[in-house]
Structure formats: structure tokens, C-alpha cells
Amino acid sequence: TTVWNADTSADGGDQFIRVVGDSSIGTINAGTGIFRHTSTGQIIDGNDSVSGERNGGTVNIIAGGAVLQGGAGVGDAANFLETRLSGAGNNAGQIEAAGGAGGIFVENVNSNGGGLEVGGIGDLANGAEADGNIVFHSNSPLTVNSDIISGADILLTALGNTVADDITVNATVDAQNGGKADLYAGHDIILGATGEVKTTGTGTGAVNLVAGENFTDGLVDGDGAADGSITMADGSLVDSNGAVTLSAREDVALSQVISDSTVNVTASTGSITDNTAAEDANIEGTVVTLTAKEGIGTHIAGADIDLNVDSLNAHVTGVGSLHVQESDDINLLDLDTFDGSINVVAGGAVTATDVESTFNKNDNDISITGTSIALVDVNAGTQGDVVLTATAGSITDGGAVSVIADDLTMTATDSVGATGLDYIDTQVQNIEGSAGTGVFRINNTGALTVGGVEGGSAVTGVTSAGGEILIGASSPLTIDEDVTHSGTGRVTLISNGSSASDNLTINANIEHTGTGLVDLIAGNDIRLSSGSQISTVSGNIGLAAGANAGVGGIRDLDGNANGSIKLADGSLVTTDSGSLTLNARKDVQLSEVSTVSGDATILAESGSITDNSLNDASANLTAVTASLTAGTNIGTSGVADVDINVDSFSVAVTNAGSIVIQEANSATATNVVNANGSIDLRAGGALTATNIVSTTDSNSN
């Protein structure tokens, strides 16, 4: 049956045609009235074989609205029905359609700016429904106010590149049985609070929303409006059992996106933002990729991008920051900002595979929080700061240099690093941090200072209540804030190397209130400033200067030949019951070194042991038993003698030099040997001397 030139436009009257079998439509003009057409077969474009008026096709239906029901289809993929639906007062023309297995293929040509509305007439339960594909091209805009349901693919377009060329979805767009849902708008795609775009049923149909795309040429090539954006109102939903892509030439404002597969969100020249009031996930998926020029989320409370994903790639290509929050475990596969900070908070474990703020700038910091953090590569440059927080586990290492930054703060309820060679490899200037029940172990490339972290760090210095504290630097290493330990592990501080700059400088306190020992090792000098203190309760204390230890902490004196221990006046090395060992390749300058019930050994291999204290009334060395060995002098005459308070002591000078020792009380001197020099031993009480020898025969010895 063919219908030609039915024209009721003069009085705006409605038209109704019912056909058994296929129906071939020529030209229908109902003015602003409603054209209703029902066919048991297919409703066919009967006036030309060209699909779309933009390609030279002739309009089939002119009306204010149309209700088209084709049992075998409405139009077809090779030849769309062309409509010009325009309501009275320049309102959008309305359409409702049912297409069966043949699908629905309609292109609307807009003559008044009102565009096309799917639904609104009320004849059909849904705005459009078919077992086959459903395609609506609108010149433009396109508004979906009633559900569109397809057993196959859905394609909705708002053609053009002006501000009017929007797609607005206020109902459900549902592609079922493995079908995909594609929406292309020359300007914006807007999902109202009740808007949903989804794929359901069996299969893995994808959802693609592209704003700023003029699909007139049938190509996805970004030729729409430059400010084309995707806006999802709070409550709207994109839900797919396949992949999801949201791409806008400008901004993307997210409500909720759910996928059983990958999700890609792109805001080419703008931002990706959270448009919801609640902190539910904006995106659920497997591998998610977010790309924006001006930022992803913000630092404002509730304005980060909330995720429930397995892995994340995120890129800010211009000036802007990155703020995301994950509900569970997450692998940060590739996160980077061109010029901005990065903030990641997770409710589970975080694997930081590749996280980088690429522009070297003081404000371009990185903050990662998770129950545990596995580090591979985190890079904030030499000016940005890094803050790592493990709220219920450990921070562990998996890269050659896991963290590059200016300032680094690491806090874990368990460990920072692990035993053996599994310390955290860093390249930072300043560090602060704490470990709860486990170890705190780092190895830094370059000079390192404990303390000095900018921005009000939540911790001061480095603390642990569990295993070992190991801080190694290559080099030097400076302690400007306290290093404290209250557990059973040891404290080891190492300045690696053998050059004159490989010093370990202590300007704060090293305090062990538990049962572990303290080891300080430097490739060159160990320097304690006035007022600084090294203390333990029962653990031994060892200082080795001129020892190129490596991170393993070997204390052989194979570092710089001038490596010395320099304890400034007013500094203190003390233990209640542990032993003391001070070894230097050259000199040992003593202020006050004390063990209440332990022994002390002091070695100045090629140099002297000297009194560096201005208070001659205080002992330089207090111990039960002491052994002092020097290459040259051990004390000199007058107030420069070495003052001791011990029960027994032995002394040796291996080359040429003097021995001048003042004992505060009674003591026993055994094996006092000077290879070539004088010996002067004095005591405030009884002095028992055994084997006192100056081996070189000289009048001055």
C-alpha cells in the first residue's frame, strides 16, 4: 500500500492510517497535527532511495508528532524514514515508534529549532521499542522523555555543531541482548535525574556517549561544538555489561557509571567532576581510564571522583589536579598530571605502579592513602612532596627507586619497607614517618635529612614501636628531628660512601626506650651537635666513622681515611645497661659518653681521642670497663686530658703520641701501652696499675 500526498496541514488535523502488510510512505503533511500509522509489515520510505534529507532525501512525514508502528520495522538501515516533526509554537516535534525485528530508523529534519522529542504523545508504553536496532538522527536537539528499548543496538544523534545540538535523556535508553548504546551530540549530552543509558541482558554491549561530535558525516572525529560537554544529573545512570566510554570536547560531570568491563572518561579541554551529593561510587568497572585537561575531581570534601574499580589510569594533560577515592583495593597503573597535585584515597590495598606529577613544581604533591601501599614508581620530581599512609598494614617496595620527591612522609600501622633487602628505595631531600608494629627501613639516593618536611606533617622525625629503624643515604645523612624507637628492633643510621661529604650529622635525639640497640655508621664523619643525644635503655650503642657500610650496615673501617667521630660540647651518648663502641678511622672527639652498667670500647685508628667538653668536672667516659685505642694521642695535658669514671680500663697508642687520662675515683689500669710517647694516669682515688708500658726507649717516654 502506498500513501501519497495526504495533506491536512491547512487545518492542522491529525491523520491515521492502518495497513495490513508493508506500507510505503510518500509524503504526509499533517501540519502541527499527529500522524499515526500502523502496519503489520514494514513502514518504508516510498519517495526516494536516499537515506536522510541531508543526503538529498525527501521528507516522508511532516507533522507535529508521529506514532509509527511497523510490525516488521520502521524504515531500514539503508533508507531511513525522513520526518519533519515540529510542534506548535516552535516546540519539539514528538515521536513514538515500535519496529519489531526490523528495528526503527528515523531522521528528523528540524525546521523551527524545536528538535525532536521521543515520547510525550502517550499512545505507546515506551517512546521507542524494537527487537532490532533503533536509530534516531535529529536536526536538532534530541530529547528522550520516554523509554527507548531495543533488543539490539541503539544510536541517538543530535546533528550539527551549535549550542542547540544537544541530547537530553530523561528516561531509560536500554540496548539489550549484547546490543550497544551510542549517543553522539553536536553540543551537550545531558542526563536528567531520571535519565539512564544502559545495556542489559546477555552479551557485553558497550555504551558510548560522545559530546561535541557532529555525526552528520557518520564519523566520530570531534568536529562538533568545542564546548560540548556531558552532564549527568545526580541520580542519573550509565550502566553496561560491556565497556563504557564517555567523551566530551570540554567537561564531564559524573553521576554514576557502572560497567562489568572497562570505563573510559575523557574531558578533552575541561574537567571531570563529581555531580552527586552522596559519596557513592561515580564509576564502577574493571580497568578505568580518566583523561582531562583541567582536572579530575577537586580537593573539596565530597568533590573527588569516587571509584569502585580494579585498576586506574588517569591523566591530567593541562593545569589541574587529580583527586580520586576508591572504596576497595586498587592498582594505580598510570597516573600523571602535567601541572598539578595527585591525591588518592582507598578503602583497601593500593598498588602504586606508576604515579607521577610531571611538572617539577613545589605545589605538585602526591598523596596516597590505603590500608596498605605497594610501591613501584611514585615521582613528584625534586620539588613536589609525597605523603604515603597505610591505615591498616604496610608500605612496601617494588621498584629500583620507588619514590622521588622533595619531602616524603610515610606512615604505616605495620611496616615501612621490610626486612632483608626489601627497604623502600627513595630519592628525596627530607623524610619523616612512623611504623607501628613493624620496621621502618629506607635507602635514599642523594643527601637526606630526617625532618624539615613542609606543610605540617602529621608526624615528627621517624618513630617505630616494632621492628628495626634503618635509614640509609648515599649521602650525607642529617638528623634534624628525633628518631625514636619503643620496641625490640634496632636503630641503624647510615651515611654511605667514602668521600669527605659522606657525613652523618645529628642535630636532634636518637632515643631507644625499648630493648634494641643503636648503630650509627658514616663513610666520613659522625657529628653530634650540642644538645643532641643518643640513648638506649638496655641496647648497645655503636658509632663507626670512616666506614663505607652499604645498606647492610657492615662496620669495617673502609671509608674515608679522615672519618672521625665528633661529639660537640653538650652532646651525650648514653645507655643504662648496654655497651658502647665508638670506632673511627681517624679521630674521636669526646663530649660525654656513658653506660651505667656496661662496657665501652673507643678506637681512633689513625688519630687521637680527645676531650671536646668545656666542662672538665664531667667525665668524658663513664663505664664499668673501658678500652681506649688511638693511633696518636689519648688526651693531652691540662684540661684537655680524657676524663673517665670507670672501674677498670686499658689504653693503647699504636704510633707516637701521649696518654693523659684523669680517673674520677678509684680504678684498675691494665695493659696501658704507648708505642712511642709518655703516659700520664691520674685518679681521684686509689689507682691499681698493671702492665704500664711505653715501648720506645726515649727520655720523653
Euclidean distance between CA atoms 76 and 99, whole angstroms = 10
Q: Where are the domains of the chain?
A: 488-625
Structure confidence at residue 295 (pLDDT): 97
Structure confidence at residue 494 (pLDDT): 95
Task: List pLDDT tens digits, range 466-523.
Answer: 889 999 999 899 999 999 999 888 999 999 999 999 999 999 999 999 888 999 999 9
Q: If pLDDT is split at 50, 70 and 90, which confidence band does 161 have?
A: very high
Euclidean distance between CA atoms 493 and 518, whole angstroms = 8
Structure confidence at residue 541 (pLDDT): 96
C-alpha dist (Å) from residue 149 to 126, 180, 595: 8, 11, 84
C-alpha dist (Å) from residue 595 to 73, 489, 589: 96, 20, 17
Q: If pLDDT is split at 50, 70 and 90, which confidence band does 638 have?
A: confident
Euclidean distance between CA atoms 557 and 588, whole angstroms = 14
Q: Which of 44-48, 455-459, 487-491 has the lowest mean pLDDT?
A: 455-459
Structure confidence at residue 203 (pLDDT): 85
DSSP collapsed to 3 states, 159-178: CCCCCCCCEEECCEEEEECC
Structure confidence at residue 700 (pLDDT): 65
Structure confidence at residue 142 (pLDDT): 95
Structure confidence at residue 92 (pLDDT): 81
Which residues, including other chains, have CB under 8 Å from residue 370's CB and lie 6 or more apart? 326, 329, 330, 344, 345, 346, 347, 348, 349, 350, 389, 390, 391
Task: List pLDDT tens digits, range 426-447.
Answer: 999 999 999 999 999 999 999 9
Structure confidence at residue 609 (pLDDT): 97
- 21-28 contact pairs (CB < 8 A, 24+): 22/72, 23/70, 25/60, 25/61, 25/81, 26/2, 26/60, 27/58, 27/59, 27/60, 27/61, 27/62, 28/3, 28/60, 28/61, 28/62, 28/63
Beta strands 330-339 and 350-352 are parallel
Euclidean distance between CA atoms 615 and 619, whole angstroms = 9
Q: For residue 614, count other CB atoms closer than 10 A to its CB.
A: 11
Structure confidence at residue 194 (pLDDT): 98
Q: What is the pTM of this model?
A: 0.92
Average pLDDT over residues 593-618: 93
pLDDT at residue 550 above 90? no
Euclidean distance between CA atoms 548 and 499, whole angstroms = 9
Amino acid at 87: G
Task: List pLDDT tens digits, range 557-576.
Answer: 888 999 999 999 999 999 99
Closest CA to 229 of 284, 178, 272: 272
C-alpha cell recorded at residue 441: 627501613
DSSP code per residue over 442-511: EEEEB-EEES--TTT-SS-SEEESSS-EEEEEES-EEE-S-EEE-SSS-EEEEE-SSSTT--EEESSEEE
Structure confidence at residue 302 (pLDDT): 86
Q: In angstroms, how far is the first alpha carbon of the chain from the final one?
A: 133
DSSP 546: S
My answer on whether omega of the bond before 140 falls inside 30° of 0, hence cis, is yes
Task: List pLDDT tens digits, range 119-132.
Answer: 999 999 999 999 99
DSSP collapsed to 3 states, 329-342: CEEEEEEEEEECCE
C-alpha cell recorded at residue 517: 640497640
